[in-house]
Amino acid sequence: MKPEIESIDLKDIADLYAIEKSVSQSPWTLEMFIASFHAGHGMFVAKSEDKIVGFLIIMDVMEQLEILNIATHPDFHKQGIASQLLSFLKNYAKQREINSMFLEVRKSNQAAIALYQKFEFEQIGIRKKYYKTDSGQEDALMMQFSF
Ligand X SMILES: CC(C)(COP(=O)(O)OP(=O)(O)OC[C@H]1O[C@@H](n2cnc3c(N)ncnc32)[C@H](O)[C@@H]1OP(=O)(O)O)[C@@H](O)C(=O)NCCC(=O)NCCS
Strand order in the sheet with 136-146: 4-7, 42-48, 51-61, 64-72, 100-106, 136-146, 122-133
Told to check if 137 binds ligand X by CB under 6 A, we report: no
The interface region with ligand X, picked from 9-17, 34-42, 102-110, 130-138 by CB under 6 A, is 102-110
Told to check if 99 binds ligand X by CB under 6 A, we report: no
95/100 Cα distance (integer angstroms): 13
The interface region with ligand X, picked from 6-14, 26-34, 104-112, 124-132 by CB under 6 A, is 104-112
Residue 54: alpha-carbon gap to chain centroid: 9
Told to check if 83 binds ligand X by CB under 6 A, we report: yes
C-alpha atoms less than 13 angstroms from C-alpha of 27 in its C-beta half-sphere: 14
Told to check if 78 binds ligand X by CB under 6 A, we report: yes
Q: How many residues bind ligand X (CB under 6 A)?
A: 21
Beta bridge partners of 103: 143
Catalytic residue among 6, 66, 92, 104: 104
User: Which 30-69 residues touch ligand X, going by CB under 6 A?
Assistant: 54
- For every residue of 55-67, DSSP letters joined together read EEEEEEETTEEEE
Instruction: List interacting residues with ligand X (CB under 6 A).
Output: 23-24, 54, 70-72, 77-83, 105, 109-112, 114-115, 118
